[in-house]
Amino acid sequence: MITHLDREACLRAVTGRDARFDGWFVTGVRTTGIYCRPSCPAMTPRARHVDFYPTAAAAQRAGFRACKRCRPDASPGSPEWDTRADLVARAMRLIADGVVDRDGVPGLAARLGYSVRQIERAMRAELGAGPLAVVRASRAQTARTLVESTSMPLSQVAFAAGFASVRSFNATMREVYATTPRDLRPRAGSTGEESAGTLSVRLPFRAPLHPDDLFGHLASTGVPGVEEWRDGAYRRTLALPGGPGIITVSPPSGDHPHVRATLRLTDLRDAGAAVARCRRLLDLDADPVAVDGALATDPVLAPLVARAPGRRIPRTPDPAEFALRVVLGQQVSTAAARTHAARLVAQVGRPVEDPVGGLTHLFPAPDAVAAADPDSFALPRTRRDTLLALAGALADGSLDVGVGADRDRARAVLGGNRGIGPWTVDSVAMRALGDPDVFLSGDLGIRQAAAALGLPTTPRALAARTAAWRPWRSYAVLHLWGTLDHPITRLPEDS
């Protein structure tokens, strides 16, 4: 049991079956040997019989198995891992992206700049489980999702979920779920929606979720050939460790708290990483009740929050790509930025095959951009030089904006590049680095919205006025953008 959890607060959440806390912690019931999410509909256990754990991995390590009724493994992830910038949060983001599956714990430690022993110690102290236990729990969750939502042969499920053998897959599933993979499938059935290399999964989130500006932003700023809006869904190509992939995510419908995602993968072992990147793209692990509750205390923001609760930050599945795109979009319109990015894609992007729509390329990797002929770029010379310098820094590792990056260091290195100003640094911090407390005071749209709402319009005065919105100023940006008459604020029309 981890003692830093507030036991009384956890007990109140469990007693009230409060779904807002699903994913924040799990409850281990000693009399039954199972662990549950806070909103489990089963009879509430006596307080003296329960312990609380910050992760499923910690509960499993303590000998508990997952509840078959409330499915604690299907909860949204803890919002802490997206919002925090400390070592454990960085490690959790990298683990979700599959770094340990690909490079082992030494690879994780190398990415973070710490020793294996330091990583183990930090994670055990806070989570009650080390990196391998967290990975094991994640593999079990991915495997159960594939077992229940596809008709893939179970041997393929095992390797797609990251298990080294079918034997370890079966043993883990029996230990975590107290049943065999084969027994899970008849109860849940199969969607039958997948084909070779294609999976259809559901991505849970904490309600509410306002889809209009989330999907509107992604669609209206999408790079032709890399992104598109088709048949009521956002689609894009993705460079994954095992090869190119195409993800399709649809806005939630009705009262179902999940986003439907279809993953077309070159290598099914990329399923876990692809799901993690979809979740990060749509900010699905956010806690909208906490965010909206804090912002609504300001009389200017209160009506905006009431009108559109649950706004999410449109993030990115590829932080290096986003950084390059922000530089291409400096001091130009959204349409011009898309044009510049499309030219770059056509010139040095990697072609892909899309049997469904109009996706033609992966966005070029930084090393491909850095190696391109500078004279071939149809850009002003200063912006071309900035783009190439940024691509070089991303390619050689002197700048890291990935999920495990040190945010403060990334901001300092990025801002030290000639031609990159505060707006670019803040945009990358907000949407690539995932910082929840960035305010784009120099953004033209923000200044227009501020003027309409009676807020100060000069960057310095506006930044001072918004200090009360901390630590959720990135979400305040979305509410201010939402007052504008712009395609980014509206759910796209079908094409």
Q: Considering only CA atoms, which of 342, 322, 183, 205 is closest in space to residue 275?
A: 205
443 counts as catalytic: yes
Q: Rounded to 5 degrees, what angle do the CA atoms 487, 491, 495 make?
A: 90
Annotated catalytic residue within 10, 22, 36, 40: 36
What single letter denotes the amino acid at residue 381?
A: R
- Residue 208, preceding peptide bond in cis (omega within 30° of 0): yes
Contact 53, 42 (CB under 8 A): no
The angle at the Cα of 129, spanning 128 to 131, to the nearest 5 degrees, equals: 150
Task: Give the pairing type, strands 350-351 and 258-265.
Answer: unpaired
Q: At a CB cut-off of 8 Å and minimum separation 6, what does 292 contact?
A: 305, 309, 310
Contact assessment for residue 319 and residue 90, using Cβ atoms and an 8 Å cutoff: no
Is there a contact between 73 and 67 (Cβ–Cβ < 8 Å)?
no
Report the C-alpha gap between 256 and 207 in whole angstroms: 9
Beta carbons within 8 Å of 25's beta carbon, 6+ residues apart? 5, 10, 38, 52, 53, 54
Task: Give the other-Cβ count within 10 Å of 74's Cβ.
Answer: 17
The reply to whether 36 belongs to the active site is yes
Strands 198-204 and 350-351: unpaired
Structure tokens at 347: 């010139």
Burial of 104 (0-12, 13-18, 19+ CB in 10 A): middle
Closest to 430 (Cα-Cα) out of 419, 447, 446: 446
Count other Cβ atoms within 10 Å, centred on residue 240.
22
Give the separation between CA 95 and CA 321, rounded to whole angstroms: 21
Six token digits for residue 373: 């002929």
| Dist CA 428 CA 420 (whole Å) | 11
User: CA-CA distance, 274 to 445, in Å (whole number)?
Assistant: 32
> Which among 271, 203, 260 is positioned nearest to 232, based on CA atoms?
260
Helical axes 271-282 vs 87-96, angle rounded to 10°: 120
DSSP H helix total and E strand total for the chain:
23, 11
Closest to 173 (Cα-Cα) out of 198, 148, 150, 199? 148
The catalytically annotated residue of 73, 285, 292, 443 is 443
Residues classed as catalytic: 36, 443
